[in-house]
A and B are shown apart, each in its own frame.
Chain A
């Protein structure tokens, strides 16, 4: 991949010839390049790009930049998540220009969970930039200059996106916030994990009405889990995610909670993809089995189904 031409994920987000599929890469706490390769090989055949996270839930892990560079060098296509929590504008800009020199192009800007969500709540929170400002800064960098106006040697080719939470208050404002992010330069939006199809529908409808769905590829997110306990945990402990009691109950009381967990996600994903204005799907995986493959096969989405879509188009 030439660092200056658009990558396959960007092209697909723009052309939308079939649903875009992305998935989250596991966090690493040591190991070798071979471990990274092995994990990427499990995901890559089923998805169009792989998100490398930036200290998710405010826990320190192997850095987003190191993982994105590794994936790129191994021939995979990463999306570099960048949160505002840990670094100021100088450090964020140097990270972005640094990874761009290795061919990393996709940047996903997030505000980031607060330090109090993690295992080092004593840490200083930074938030020198906020999410929409970070989108704009990355977009400015794509024109070949830093925020200060200082020119770079060459303009990095960047494809900038962001996240939005369709199920967090104020619900009626979320699509407007998405519009603010698109106006700042976001061209894809990966949504927060959701368990409320009706709230997702309302959000997407508002994004269709205000033009966001056309200007940015909206990817709702589902989360593969194994048991009701995981759902309760998310409901109680993950900021911005709420799981209806009936949904937890459904998994908890089923004869095969593991299979029921999968079926729940499959239904959520199928529903999300059926909403006009949705461009694809983002998958997070806490099962660590072959469910990403199963889900993309059951839904007939992802790079393996390229030809089928080409024929039906």
Chain B
């Protein structure tokens, strides 16, 4: 199961979203646009280098992932409102230990929501 599930997940999500198998999927909160395809792997919005035409600082021929994500989170049909609202949430640092794992499994067992204790403490505090 541990070996098969990531394969199945990758087989589906790679062609559709260019999934990078970070193992902690946030697609639903980013307008169904994978932030790990941003050359800087930014998970909290666009950097300041976005070109005037909305294209990427690093890959000029590519539309900025976050320009796309922002647009889609607002306008994509059938996206639940709670998902749209999650766009503005502060997503924690990537847990690099989950790379390559199935995010479906990590969603079910809650591992994708575990944050470092310092982060968790400050969230509890806020």
Contacts and interface: CB of A to CB of B under 8 A. Distances in A.
A173 B121 contact: no
A116 B49 CA distance: 12
A146 interface: yes
A145 B51 CA distance: 38
Interface residues of A, number: 45
B119 A240 contact: no
B34 to A, nearest CB: 15
Given A114-B40, A128-B93, A130-B43, A165 B48 contact: yes
Contacts, number: 127
Contacts of A149: 116-118, 120-121
Contacts of A242: 52
Interface in A188-244: 192, 239-240, 242
A164 B48 CA distance: 7
Interface of B: 39-54, 57-58, 64, 66-67, 70-71, 88, 90-94, 96, 116-122, 125-126
Interface of A: 84-85, 89, 110-111, 113-114, 116-117, 125, 127-133, 136-137, 139-140, 143, 145-150, 163-165, 168-170, 173, 176-177, 179-180, 183-184, 192, 239-240, 242
22 contacts: A110-B48, A113-B49, A113-B57, A114-B58, A117-B49, A128-B93, A131-B42, A131-B47, A140-B121, A146-B118, A147-B116, A150-B118, A168-B49, A168-B50, A169-B64, A176-B88, A177-B46, A180-B44, A180-B45, A183-B126, A239-B48, A240-B57
